[in-house]
Chains A and B, each alone.
Chain A
Amino acid sequence: MTALARRLWDHDLAHAFRHDPLAILSAIVVAAFLIAALLAPVIVAKDPFDLRNLDLIESLLPPGPGRPLGTDDQGRDLLAAIVYGTRLSLVVAVLSVVVSLGLGVTLGLIAGFAGGFLDAFIMRAADIQLSFPAILVALLVDGIARAALPGDMHARFAVPVLIAAIALSGWVQYARTVRGLTLAERSKDYVQSARVSGVAPARIARAHILPNVTGPLFVLATVQIATAILTEATLSFLGVGMPPTSPSLGTLVNIGNNYLFSGAWWISVFPGLALVMLVLAVNLLGDWLRDALNPRLG
C-alpha cells in the first residue's frame, strides 16, 4: 500500500499538480463540492426535497441566524437546497458524460475501424448533430419525453431524461476524437500482427485499439463535465429540467428570478454563485490536466 502511495506521489502528474497552486485550489473547490454532495443528508438537517419539511411561514426570509443564505419561496433553507441541488447537478453531469462517453467512443471506434459506409453514416450523423446547438437537442429530447410520459411520470423521470438529453448532445466530440485516433492506430503493425494471428476484428478494436485511444478522452471528459453542469442548469432554468419540487441549481436560479425585483435577491444569487464556482473549478482542473498531459508543452 505504501509502495502504491509512493508511486502515485512520484508520478509525473502528481509532481505537476503539486507545483500548480491554481490546480490545487480548483481541486480543493471541486472536492468540497463533491464531499458536500456525497454527505448532503449528514450536513443538512431537513431534506429540502421532502415536501413535509416545508413551511410557507418561513418563505422568502433574508439571510440571518439559523438560515445563513435565507429561504426560498417555499420556505426551504437555501443552503440545504444548494447542497441538494449541487448533488443533483453533479449526478446528472457525471452520468450524462459517462453515457455520452460510452456512446461516442463506441461509435467513433466503429467508424474509424470499419471505415466505408458505416464510417460515412456515423460521421454524417455527427455532422448533423453538430449543426444543432446542444441546448436545442436537449430541448428536443425533453419535449419528446414530455409528450410520451404522463405529467406526474415526467417529474419522476426528470433525471434520466436530462441525462439522456445532455448525453445525446455531447457524444460527437468523443466520436470524432476516437475516430481520428483509431484511423492512426489501425494501420500500425501491432494491429497487423494481431490480424496475422487471426484475432477477430471486434476483438482487435476492443483489446488493441481502444486502450491506445483513451488517453485524450480523460481531458475531454473533464471539460465536458463542466459543460454538462451548465447545460443542465440552463435546461432547469428554462423550466424543462428538474422540477421545482426537487430543484437543481438551475431551477433555484429560475425560482429566484421571479423574486429578484421584489428584493429577494438571495434566492438567485447564492445558487448562481455556487454554479459559477463549481463550473470554474472543474474547467480549471480540466485545463490543467490538458496542459499536464500534453508532452509538447512539458
Chain B
Amino acid sequence: MMLLDARDLACTFPLPRSLPDRLARRPRPGIAAVAGVTLGVARGETLGLVGESGCGKSTLARLIVGLHRPSAGSLAFDGTVVAPTVRDRPPALRRRLQMIFQDPYASLNPRWRVGDIIAEPLAEQPDAPPPAARREHAAELLARVGLSAADARRHPHEFSGGQRQRIAIARALSTGPDFLVCDEPTSALDVSVQAQVLNLMRDLQEAEGLTFLLISHNLAVIHHMANRIGVMYLGRLVEIGEKTDVFARPRHPYTRALLATLPRLDGVRRPREAVAGEVPSALSPPSGCHFHPRCPFARARCRVEAPALADGVACHGIAEGWIPS
C-alpha cells in the first residue's frame, strides 16, 4: 500500500477579472499550476519529481503539505483521506508529514536561535515535551545532521548555505516524521556541498526509514537519489516509473527530450530529439495533450484530447503504438 496517494490533485490560482468581464459574469480566469496529478509514494522509497520551471512541481509539494488548498482531487496519507489545508489537519498528521524548503537563506527565521528553529515543530505538538527536553532533543538532532550541540545558541546568519540546509533538515526531523517533501533541497547550494547534503539525506533515510518526495529540476540529483521518477510538464504528470527504466528507456517524447539534454561521459552522442519552441504559458495551455505543439510525433488526436496516464505514461502515441518505444 502506498504511504501517500494523490488522486487527480489540481490547483488553480485565480487571477483578477477585468470589470467588463465581471459585469458579463464571465468565469474568473486562473492559472492551472497543477492540473490533475495522480501518483503514489510507497513507504521507504524516494520518488523523484522532475520538470522544468513552472511545471507545477513546487505547487504539488505545497498541496501535499497543505500550504495550498487544492481546487480538485484528494490526498490520502497512510490509507486515510486527509484534510486539504494544514490548519485543518490533526497534529498527529502534521508530525508525520514535514517539508524541506529550497532556499535555506529564506526558510530559517533570521531572528531566531537555531535551537528554537529546530524545536519549533515539536513545540507546536499538543503533547510537546517541556522546554528543557526540547533543547536536549534539538542538540541531538544537530549532532545527527553533522553540526555541534553548541550551534543551537547561534543565529542562522552565522552558518553557510550547506550548514543552514542541515539545520532545515534537523528541523523537519524534529517531530520524527515518516514522510518528507523536499522541494529542490540543494538547488540553492554550491555544487561542492550539494552532494554532502544529498548523502546526509540518504543516510537519514536509511537510518529512520524515511520516505521522500524529492523535487528537482536537476536530473543528476534525481538520478543520485530516487528509486522512481515522475516527470511533469505544464501541470500534468506525463511519465512515471522505476528510475532505471526511465533513464534507460524513456517513453514519453518529453522525457526523451529531457534526458537527451544530459551530457554523457562515454562520449557517445544519442540522437538529440531537440524540443522545438518554448514552454507554453500556463495561462493558456494548449488544448489536448499539453506537449503537442512541441512534439515531433503529434497527430490530430493529440490536439483535442488530453491523454490519460496508462501504464506509467500519458501519451496517445505510446498507447496506440505509433511512437516507437
Contacts and interface: CB of A to CB of B under 8 A. Distances in A.
Interface of A: 188-190, 192-199, 208, 211-212
B233 interface: no
A192 B107 CA distance: 8
Given A196-B67, A198-B86, A190 B121 contact: no
B110 A193 contact: no
B231 interface: no
B107 A189 contact: yes
Contacts of A190: 106-110
Given A190-B107, A208-B109, A199 B124 contact: yes
Contact of B121 (A188, A189, A197, A212): A197
Dominant SS among interface residues on chain B: loop
Interface residues of B, number: 27
Contact of B98 (A192, A196, A208, A212): A196
A212 B99 contact: no
A194 B120 contact: yes
Contacts of B66: 196
B106 A189 contact: yes
A197 B175 CA distance: 9
B171 interface: yes
A191 to B, nearest CB: 8
B113 to A, nearest CB: 12
A212 B110 contact: yes
Given A197-B94, A198-B87, A212 B101 contact: no
Interface in B107-122: 107-112, 120-121
B209 interface: no
Contact of B107 (A193, A199, A211, A212): A193
Contact of A212 (B65, B109, B171, B175): B109
B91 interface: yes
Nearest to B97: A196
Dominant SS among interface residues on chain A: helix
B111 A196 contact: no
Nearest to A185: B109
Nearest to B171: A193
Nearest to A212: B111
Contacts of A211: 109, 111-112
B103 interface: yes
Given A189-B107, A190-B106, A198 B67 contact: no
Contact of B101 (A193, A198, A199, A208): A193
Contacts, number: 58
Nearest 4 pairs between A and B by C-beta? A189-B107, A197-B121, A211-B111, A189-B106
Interface in B37-81: 62, 65-67
A255 to B, nearest CB: 49
Given A193-B171, A199-B124, 8 more contacts: A189-B107, A190-B106, A190-B108, A196-B66, A196-B86, A196-B99, A198-B121, A208-B109
A198 B88 CA distance: 9
B102 interface: yes
B107 A197 contact: no
Contact of B124 (A189, A198, A208): A198
A211 B91 CA distance: 26
Contact of B120 (A192, A199, A212): A199
Contacts of B98: 196-197
B229 to A, nearest CB: 25
A194 B108 CA distance: 10
Contacts of A189: 101-103, 106-107
Interface in B174-215: 175
A136 to B, nearest CB: 36
Q: Specify which of B91, B111, B171 lies most central, judged by the most chain A CB atoms within 10 Å of its CB.
A: B111
B78 to A, nearest CB: 18
A192 B67 contact: yes
A244 B87 CA distance: 58
Contacts of A208: 109, 112
A213 to B, nearest CB: 10
22 contacts: A189-B101, A189-B102, A192-B107, A193-B101, A193-B108, A194-B109, A194-B120, A195-B67, A196-B67, A196-B86, A196-B94, A196-B99, A197-B94, A197-B98, A197-B120, A198-B87, A198-B94, A208-B109, A208-B112, A211-B109, A212-B109, A212-B110
B299 to A, nearest CB: 42
A198 B86 CA distance: 7
Contacts of A199: 120, 124
Contacts of B87: 195, 198
Contacts of B62: 192
Contacts of B124: 197-199
A195 B86 contact: yes
Nearest to B66: A196
Contacts of B107: 188-190, 192-193
A297 B168 CA distance: 33
A130 to B, nearest CB: 26
A192 B101 contact: yes
A241 to B, nearest CB: 39
Nearest to B101: A189
